[in-house]
Amino acid sequence: MRAQLRSTFPLVLFGVFFLSACSASSGGQRELDANGRNISDEDLALDEQRFQDGNIPIARADGLFKDLLFAYNSSAVPVEYQAELKENAKVLMSDDTLRAEVEGHCDKRGTIEYNHALGEERAKAVAALLVSYGVRPSQLTTISYGEEIPVDPGDTEAAYSRNRRVHFALFRVKPGGGQ
């Protein structure tokens, strides 16, 4: 009996350490997103796949945070998104390592220069609102893709309205500032 216990004890000990290591891995880090879902490192990695092999992302509607849609020629954040943005802010404030790149997008009407400027205004307006809700500015970056990454390439008003958006690309930095 004693010999059997000696041979079983290391195996049990290994199992305990293995299971505790799994629960402490970076994959175990989870925060609630704006819809009450958990955001894990794996979720963030899947979201990053939209960049494929380059620096310009492929078009994707929504993500871990829902896209915000804008009126034609406007950078005013629609009132209906205020509550959702407050929830997004809570998620960001709950985790010092979570970051959001706020991407401004436009439909294809207007000049390239105009659409880049409008996309930038949209991204900055959303970022400013998140900061007003308590998000640290260091957790946010903004970028404008103008009309370059349409989520719907169509030539209808419905397609245009889906392309006038702000998209959130979420990622995590290592504690201490590194990525």
pLDDT beyond 80 at 16: no
pLDDT beyond 80 at 36: no
Residue 174 has what pLDDT? 79
Are 136 and 156 spatial neighbours (Cβ–Cβ below 8 Å)? no
For every residue of the chain, DSSP letters joined together read -HHHHHHHHHHHHHHHHHHHHHHTSGGG-EEE-TTS-EEEHHHHHHHHGGGTTSSSPPP-S--SS--EE--TT--PPPGGGHHHHHHHHHHHHT-TTEEEEEEEE--S-S-HHHHHHHHHHHHHHHHHHHHHTT--GGGEEEEEEETSS-S---SSHHHHHHHSEEEEEEEE--TTS--
The CB density around residue 39, as the number of other CB atoms within 10 Å, is 22
Between these two residues, 2 and 164, which has the higher pLDDT value? 164
Q: Please give the mean pLDDT across all residues of the chain.
A: 78
Between these two residues, 51 and 139, which has the higher pLDDT value? 139
From the centroid of its chain, how far is CA 110?
Answer: 28
pLDDT beyond 60 at 17: no
Between these two residues, 18 and 49, which has the higher pLDDT value? 49
User: Model-level pTM?
Assistant: 0.70
Task: Give phi and psi for 100, each to the nearest 5.
Answer: -135, 130
Residue 157 has what pLDDT? 97
In the chain, what are the domains?
Answer: 30-172 (3.30.1330.60)
pLDDT band, residue 47 (cuts 50/70/90): low
Residue 49 has what pLDDT? 53
Please give the average per-residue pLDDT across 76-99, as a whole number: 96
Are 30 and 65 spatial neighbours (Cβ–Cβ below 8 Å)? no
Residue 161 has what pLDDT? 97
pLDDT band, residue 48 (cuts 50/70/90): low
